[in-house]
Amino acid sequence: MSFQDQKLVRKTKPSNSLNEGQMKQLQSAFMNESGDENGEYENQQTAINPHEPKRSKTIIQQNQSQDQSMIMDNIKVDSDKITFLSEKDFKFEKNCWVCKILFGKMNDRQHHCRLCSHSVCKICSQKRVNDNRVCDICFLKMKNVKGEKRKKKLLAAMKNFIKNLSTNITKGNEENKKLESKCKNLKDQSKIEEEKRQIELEILKSKLAQIQRSKETQEKKLREHENQLEVKKVDRQRRQDELNDYQTKQKIIVGDIKLQQDAYKSRYDQLNQLYQQKKDLQNQESFLRLPNYERAKRNDPENMCEAIIFLDNNDHRNGINHYNTVSNNNVFQSTSDSNNIDKHNTSQNYNQQKNDKTEYASSYNQGLMDADHEIIQHSSRKKNKGGSGKKTGTCLCD
């Protein structure tokens, strides 16, 4: 949009400040200039100050005196590119187009820009283009042709960009629709997968419950085994204590056995000595002259001593029985004599005594035969047991 197409907003009160659009255009134009143009911008900025208060009559007079001493700028532009307006196209306005100063009797006459046909004051129309008076705004516009070219190029680029942008937006909408369909499909798939996961979760929960129950069962069994193990430990400890007691008793028994072995050894030595003494006694003549020597030699020649002792004991028993029988008979005879028993009874008693003597003799002989038989049986038993003659004889003598 050019400055010619802009509509002026008339104010009831004059103002020395520029509107926002004009200030932006001026600033953009001044910023695109080179270093020399920056100096001009600073000069123009002093002249066009949007924050400057209303100028009084004295300020206007000072500005007019300063403007007369200033050198007027003039630039040359190709006349084919621009068109200057005539006086019939001028716009007679009450305020300056640039600084908005109110024209009056105290001010200079109003000038007109040959490019935009707006009314401007003397200060704002000191610039010239091809020797034609123009306002500061048009002067800067003509001086900033390169900026205008760049602006046109930018606008063309923006046009292409907007065109491409609309194409890209269309494509983006299509892609957005595709993505929305994909998103919907993904949502459906995710919903199905979520249902599957829920089913799997229920299955896993049931398995977990089974595992928990089995774990509790295993823990219960473990506690039972631990209790059994504890009982076994106590039983083992008890058995260990018993074993220790048995070992202690065994040690005591072993000690006793050792003592008994020592005692048996000493007794064995004594027995050997006695056996040697017995052997020496058997070789003496007094032993050979014993009453039962021949009978013992005939019955048990290997154990003569034992046989002689056994026969002597039998003879001793038989002798005691004989003595008792004889004494009884004497007592009976004295009693019969004292009581004046007849001779018939005496003869009977005599015959009875005779018979008793016969029986005693027979019983004595039978006793001797029984003694011989017992000696023979005793010898046969010792042979069957495998006992040695020395030990058997020694034990009998002992």
Instruction: List Cβ neighbours of 322 (8 Å cut-off, separation of 6 or more).
Output: 360, 364
Distances (CA, A) of 236 to 98, 224, 230: 120, 18, 10
Distances (CA, A) of 126 to 72, 192, 226: 6, 82, 116
Question: Does a structural domain hold residue 194?
Answer: no
Give how many domains the chain has, as a whole number.
2
At 57, is the pLDDT very low, low, confident or very high (cuts 50, 70, 90)? Answer: very low
Question: Does a structural domain hold residue 325?
Answer: yes
Residues 237, 241: Cα–Cα separation, whole Å: 6
Is the model's pLDDT at 301 over the cut of 60?
yes
Kindly report the CATH number assigned to the domain that includes residue 119.
3.30.40.10
Q: Phi/psi zone of residue 53: left (φ > 0), alpha (ψ -120 to 50 degrees), beta? A: beta
Question: Does a structural domain hold residue 90?
Answer: yes
Instruction: List Cβ neighbours of 87 (8 Å cut-off, separation of 6 or more).
Output: 112
Question: Does a structural domain hold residue 74?
Answer: yes
Which domain covers residue 296, as residue numbers?
284-397
Domain end point (choices 116, 143, 170) = 143
What's the distance, CA 257 to chain centroid?
62
Q: Is the model more confident about 48 or about 20?
A: 20
pTM of the full structure:
0.26
Residues 142, 54: Cα–Cα separation, whole Å: 29
Strand partners, 75: 129
Is the model's pLDDT at 202 over the cut of 90?
yes
Rg of the chain taking only CA atoms, in angstroms: 84
At 17, is the pLDDT very low, low, confident or very high (cuts 50, 70, 90)? Answer: very low
Is the model's pLDDT at 249 over the cut of 50?
yes
Question: Does a structural domain hold residue 47?
Answer: yes
Is the model's pLDDT at 310 over the cut of 70?
yes
Question: Does a structural domain hold residue 48?
Answer: yes
Is the model's pLDDT at 271 over the cut of 80?
yes
Neighbour count for residue 377 (Cβ, 10 Å): 10
90 and 97 in contact (C-beta within 8 Å)? no
For range 273-302, the mean pLDDT: 75
Residues 296, 305: Cα–Cα separation, whole Å: 8
Question: Does a structural domain hold residue 34?
Answer: yes
User: What local confidence, expressed as pLDDT, does residue 365 receive?
Assistant: 52
Domain end point (choices 110, 143, 176) = 143
Run of H or E including 114: none
User: What local confidence, expressed as pLDDT, does residue 16 receive?
Assistant: 39
Domain end point (choices 143, 172, 191) = 143
Q: What is the mean pLDDT of the chain?
A: 70
User: What local confidence, expressed as pLDDT, does residue 329 receive?
Assistant: 47
Question: Does a structural domain hold residue 155?
Answer: no
